[in-house]
Structure 1
Amino acid sequence: MNNSSEKEKLNSSESETIEFKNSLSEMEQILETVSAFTNTKGGEIFIGVADDGKINGVTIGKGTLEHLANEIKLNTDPKIFPNITIEEINSKKIIKVSVEEYPIKPVFTKEKVFLRVGKTNQKASADKMRELITKNTPYHWDSSVLSEKTILDINKDKVKSFILLSNEERNSLWETESDVSSQLNRLNLLHNNKLTNAAILLFGKAPNRIYPRSIVKCAKFAGNEPIDFIDMQEIKGTIIEQVPDVLNFIRRHINVTVNISGKAQRDEIWEYPKEALREAVINAICHRNYEDTGNVQVRIFDNRLEIWNPGTLPKGITIDSLKGDHRSHPRNELIARCFYLIKYIEQWGTGTNRIINACKDASLTAPSFEIKDNDFIVTFYKATGETKSSGVSIRLNETQKKIVKFIADKGSAKTGEIQTHIGISRRVLNRYLNEIASILDWNGKSKTDPTGYYTINKNVEIEELLKF
């Protein structure tokens, strides 16, 4: 026994984690405190100590501790087995009951639930009890059933395509000709012949009508603030279909170079590593909190790219642990299982490490991970300098292609003419023109010459440039 430590506690007053009881005759209050401590942060009950901290001591017989332990065990649900010890302070014996916070809440005593609030025990309201149950009962939204939906709401072709891809990627050896109900049952997407939320998101005919929050919102902003956007798109469809569609939107709005190496297959080099973006997009769609009414968002700025995912990190996972070895804790287990079967994800908790390593291999600043307003955000940062190598040509985004094609078709074009044709602000157009200045020639006395015009540099292969 650490006398100095116990004396220090007894010299202080009652608190959120310390309770004094004068004698064992206060059993009702002792049980209430055990319930309160287990449902809050845990704590210690000192029996034989008055409310003012005066040590009166308690008479301890042969079966005293056993009787106390039995009283607590018999009158708590789930049954609590605290650590009970005898302490001696100032030649007087007291009993210390050490109670840990219980992982599964609520803990009842005599059909009541208590919480520790400050230095008092308060009976939990019905709303508070429901909250404790919701927080501490294992629950996965994606496995909940939709009673009003039937197998007719499932796209059979999408299920068949999934099975074929699973056989190819994981050698699953599933029978593609089995009926849809059998396939969904095998994937645990049917419960008592009722569709789960995951079934609708993965294979539904109209998943976005049922769950508008499953739409992924993508935007390319002008500059580095989310104020003026150049392009915006809502990515709809099943969550499996959304992944390539989101990546196609990103591809249109970042710089992509083409490595012309003489091979039939041209290698594309994305401004941000494609494999890292793919991993982040899949993680956001797979692991988001679908009970949150927000949407997954992709925000593309001039200097960075952000992927916003509704929902905080699972219990036991921190921002720091994401940067090292950590276990996989999928929020949506059924969705994660299906994504694994088609090699969208692995199940080793390595996704964030692959994102970091891909950026490192591309000589980019490491991406940042943060929690903001109940959203998990991954931010990729643009390279500060440009690298050029032989055999690599610039790839234009869709707006830049329109600019180049317009100038090429006319032979030359003034800034105002380009602006009218493209339909964007002068400020945004000037930024695009600056980005592709290496393939344009400006013909004018000065940059602000109203009679000046753009032409395409004679060394540029326009057809090749517009092909990708």
Structure 2
Amino acid sequence: MNLQSLLKYGESETLEFKEKFDDRTVESAVAFANAKGGMILIGVSDKGNISGVDIGKETLAKWANQVSDKTEPQLIPEIEVLEFEGKKVVVVNVPEYPIKPVSVRGRCFKRVNNSNRSMNSQEIAEMHLQSTGMSWDRFPAAGKSLEDLDLEKVRRYIRKARVSGRKGFGEDEDPIRVLEKMELVKDGKPTWAAGLLFCKDGRRFLSQAVIHCGRFKDQTLVIDDRLIEGTLFEQVEEAIGFVRKNTSVKFVMTGKPEREEVWDYPLEAIREAVVNAVCHRDYTALALRSGSMKMN
């Protein structure tokens, strides 16, 4: 392990510096376990300067036990010692935990860039569902009924799916039956996914299921913004329309009957970014800045 290389890049989503072992070290271990895993260097300042750490015969075992005793489920980190210019640095390797989230003293943390953030109850529930191969949108929507769905939108989806050949629906198949086959309706109740895809106009099936688009002139000045509601299908198309509206395009004459359009951002990349964001989050912020597009 090249200690100098690690210090060169600084703290990140997978690397943390600590001058000493304390409760914050355990929080970092939990945050790494709830993400992709990571490494904690003890005996290094926040700026990456090696201060070293004094360790005794039982120090490493004591630290490992503290991590295990304070975490639920128990984490068992791998600990080793490196020496640099006569100073000792302890390396705590924390693997990603398969069933999340892991907690410390009843609190769960996640890694965001180079810091640890406390998780709220919704984030905890969603992380657990994802780690067990499930998703909240597969569950029946509390307080909702089939009356909240627009069956004509379902019929339009069926027609498009039949034309594209992606689904083998019958020509006159009942829309509710189709939703049941797709597990979007269970025991006569629509799932959250069904509502997000086929809710009636003017009804927000889930309050935070919107896209907020903004175009920034600089870090603080917004020169165009739009809050997009509706079904996920509608949100995707309107978000792409917002990006197109705020994206420069030049026309190249190639000698062909039609001129060629060259966009600042490839349209397929824009569509893929918007679709991925909408499909994976309740709330999506789409920000456009000069020379870049960012999904938050």
Flag whether TM exceeds 0.5 (same fold). Answer: yes
1:275 pairs, out of 262, 268, 276, with 268
Amino acid at match of 1:226: T
Query: Which residue of 260, 268, 284 maps to 1:296?
Result: 284
2:214, 2:288 within 8 Å by CA — same for their partners in 1? yes
Tell me how far apart the structure 2 counterparts of residues 258 and 210 of structure 1 sit (CA, whole Å).
41
Q: Aligned partners of 2:124, 2:286: CA distance in 1, in Å?
A: 34
Aligned partners of 1:37 and 1:101 also within 8 Å? no
Deviations 1:277-298 (A, max 9, x none): 111111111112x2xxxx3122
In the superposition, relative to structure 1, how do residues 180 and 217 fare at CA in structure 2: closer, same or farther (>3 Å)?
Answer: same
Bigger relative contact order (CA 8 A; separation at least 6): 2
Give the structure 2 partner of residue 403 of structure 1: none
CA contact (8 A) 1:215 1:234 kept: yes
Structure 2 residues without counterparts, runs of 5 or longer = 1-54, 79-94, 107-122
CA distance in 2, matches of 1:135, 1:224: 34
AA partner of residue 278 (structure 2): I
Tell me which residue corresponds to 1:144: 139
Question: Where does 1:115-134 land on structure 2 (aligned, <5 Å)?
Answer: none
Question: 1:266–1:180: structure 2 CA closer, same or farther, 3 Å change rule?
Answer: farther
Contact 1:220 1:299 in 2 (8 A): yes
In the alignment, which of 52, 75, 79 is matched to residue 41 of structure 1?
A: 75
Q: Measure the CA separation in 2 of the matches of 1:133 and 1:296.
A: 19
Select which of 236, 253, 268 maps to 1:243. Answer: 236
Q: Which has the larger radius of gyration?
A: 1
What's the % identity of the aligned pairs? 28
177, 181, 203: which one pairs with 1:186?
Answer: 181
In structure 2, C-alpha distance between the alignment counterparts of 1:132 and 1:191, rounded to whole Å: 25
For the residues of structure 2 that align with 1:271 and 1:219, how far apart are their CA atoms? 17
CA RMSD of aligned residues (A): 4.0
**1:286 aligned counterpart, secondary structure:** helix
Deviation at 1:37?
7.0
| 1:35 Cα deviation after fit | 8.1
- Check conservation: 2:99, 2:128, Cα contact below 8 A: yes
Map of 2:218 onto structure 1: 224
Corresponding position of 2:14? none
Structure 1 distance, partners of 2:218, 2:100, is 46
Q: Which residue of 2 aligns with 1:27?
A: none
* Distance in 2 between residues matched to 1:224 and 1:273, nearest whole Å: 22
Q: Report if aligned partners of 2:210, 2:229 keep a CA contact under 8 Å in 1.
A: yes
User: 1:251, 1:104 → 2: CA distance?
Assistant: 41
Question: 2:62 matched to 1:15?
Answer: yes
Shift of 1:104: 4.7
What letter is aligned with 1:269?
V
Contact 2:199–2:205 (Cα < 8 Å) also in 1: no
**What are the superposed Cα offsets for residues 336-366 of structure 1, whole Å, 9 maximum, x if unpaired?**
xxxxxxxxxxxxxxxxxxxxxxxxxxxxxxx
Residue 10 and residue 302 in structure 1: after superposition, are their counterparts in 2 closer, same or farther (change >3 A)?
A: closer
8 A contact 1:299–1:306 mirrored in 2: yes
- For residue 153 of structure 1, the aligned residue among 148, 151, 155 is 148
Tell me the residue number matched to 1:337.
none
- How far 1:133 moved relative to its partner? 8.2
How many residue pairs are counted as aligned between the two chains? 209
Question: 1:15 offset after TM fit, Å?
Answer: 2.1
What amino acid is aligned across from residue 219 of structure 2 in structure 1? E
- Distance (Å, rounded) in 2 between the aligned partners of 1:283 and 1:134: 17
Whole-Å Cα distance in 2 between the matches of residues 178 and 193 of structure 1?
A: 17
Q: Structure 1: any 5+ residue segments left out of the alignment?
A: 1-7, 20-32, 45-99, 108-113, 117-130, 309-468
Which runs of structure 2 are paired with 1:48-197 in the superposition (5 Å)? 103-104=98-99, 136=128, 138=132, 139-197=134-192
Partner of 1:431: none
Checking the alignment, whether the CA contact within 8 Å between 1:159 and 1:203 is kept in structure 2 is yes
